[in-house]
Amino acid sequence: MNDLQRLFKARGLSMRELAAAIGEGYHPTQKNVKGVRKQRHIQAAVAAYLGLTVDECFGPSAAIHLKQLITCEISKKRTEYEKKLKARYLTVAGEQKAVNG
């Protein structure tokens, strides 16, 4: 799995959903994301979807940009998870139990 695939997985986006979002077919989208094919118009659509240039998404420096985006997704997920835990265990409202301490 490459960094681009990891990013979409971290975002919870399937290749079918990505293909629909960019208006392309599943197989060509999947092949381009995997790096098996290099169709410039699909690469441009995927890069635009991410708010990146084609080079930032598929070029030699892609790993730098994609790892930054993956790191951001991890941070978002961590923040969301912490909020859920705090709401579940530290909220004093209504039906929810308060933590003794």
Q: What is the pLDDT of residues 57-74, one digit of tens each?
A: 999 999 999 999 999 999
Q: Which residue has the tokens 């003794």?
A: 100
- Domain enclosing residue 22, as ranges: 3-70
- Asked if residue 85 is part of any domain, the answer here is no
C-alpha span between 68 and 51 (Å, rounded): 13
C-alpha span between 52 and 31 (Å, rounded): 19
Q: What is the DSSP letter of 59?
A: S
- Asked if residue 40 is part of any domain, the answer here is yes
Assign residue 9 the CATH number of its domain.
1.10.260
Q: Give residue-wise pLDDT tens across range 8-42.
A: 999 999 999 999 999 999 999 999 999 999 999 99
- Asked if residue 52 is part of any domain, the answer here is yes
CB 70 within 8 A of CB 3: yes
- Asked if residue 21 is part of any domain, the answer here is yes
Q: Which amino acid is at 92?
A: V
Nearest to 40 by CA among 26, 21, 53: 53
Domain count, the chain: 1
pTM of the predicted structure, to 2 decimals: 0.81
